[in-house]
């Protein structure tokens, strides 16, 4: 875990894949607790509020609020589309850009979300837009680098929506990828942005583009986003 930026209202951190966003039953070190420890080492107030989460297997940026007023404002923005949440992903296959609108059902027992065809209890609408940046042929098949903007925040939303179209995130065996070379799914929360009454939230960080499968693509793609 690494603190990317902070002010008196919020903290933005980088969470690596494999780390929980908050304490869970595993007892593993989590981003929320580690952030509080880092603030304590700097002799800063440890008041901290969880606003949103990333799946354990997903890496990227998280924002925590540092007071109740900011927490309330950020939470209200998260519930709509007031916070810009953008991701980079490598998917198995070729796709053109577009917009996915689906009904998602979260199966808590299976720890998985499914695209369904009708509304019922536990089903929520999921919306995202995406742009392909480059498609390449690799020894493990066709791969496409895509930029994704979430318009809703559902459980495993990106993974489920792409997986349901037989375009799984590379390395995401849970949603259909047969590429087991990546240790974790190639999905990275690379940008957060929002306008708050007290400050402007803007943070950006790229994945390690020297690692597979990010290294399959021209570096210029990462410089232009």
Residue-level pLDDT at 142: 98
Into how many domains does the chain fold? Answer: 1
Q: What is the CATH number of the domain that holds 123?
A: 3.30.2350.10
Residue-level pLDDT at 225: 85
Domain extent for 176: 2-223
- Separation of alpha carbons 219 and 225, rounded Å: 11
First-residue to last-residue Cα distance in the chain: 24
Residue-level pLDDT at 80: 64
Which mean pLDDT values do the consecutive 10-residue runs of the chain (225 residues) have? 95 98 94 97 94 95 96 86 91 96 95 94 94 97 97 94 98 97 97 91 96 97 90
Would you state the torsion angle of the CA atoms of residues 114, 117, 121, 126, taken in this order, to the nearest 10 degrees? 60
110 alpha carbon, distance to own chain's centre:
20
Residue-level pLDDT at 78: 83
Residue in the structure block whose two tokens are 């917009």: 99
Buried b (16+ CB within 10 A) or exposed e, 82-121: ebbbbbbbbbbbebeeeebebbbbbeeeeebbbbeeeeee
């Amino acid at each position: 875990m690494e603190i990317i930026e902070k002010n008196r209202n919020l903290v933005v951190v980088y969470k690596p894949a494999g780390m929980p966003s908050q304490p869970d039953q595993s007892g593993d070190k989590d981003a929320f607790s580690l952030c509080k420890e880092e603030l304590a080492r700097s002799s800063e107030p440890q008041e901290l509020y969880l606003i949103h989460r990333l799946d354990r297997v997903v890496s990227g940026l998280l924002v925590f609020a540092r007071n109740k007023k900011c927490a309330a404002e950020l939470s209200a923005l998260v519930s709509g589309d007031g916070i810009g949440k953008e991701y980079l992903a490598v998917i198995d296959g070729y796709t053109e850009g577009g917009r996915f609108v689906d009904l998602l059902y979260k199966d808590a027992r299976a720890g998985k979300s499914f695209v369904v065809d009708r509304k019922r209890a536990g089903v929520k609408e999921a919306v995202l837009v995406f742009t392909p940046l480059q498609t390449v042929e690799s020894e493990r098949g066709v791969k496409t680098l895509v930029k994704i903007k979430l318009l809703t925040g559902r459980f495993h939303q990106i993974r489920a929506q792409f997986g349901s179209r037989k375009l799984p995130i590379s390395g995401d065996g849970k949603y259909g990828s047969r590429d087991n070379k990546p240790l974790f799914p190639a999905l990275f929360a690379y940008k957060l942005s929002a306008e708050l009454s007290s400050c402007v939230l803007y943070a950006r960080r790229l994945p390690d583009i020297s690692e597979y499968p990010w290294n399959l693509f021209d570096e210029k793609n990462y410089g232009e986003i």
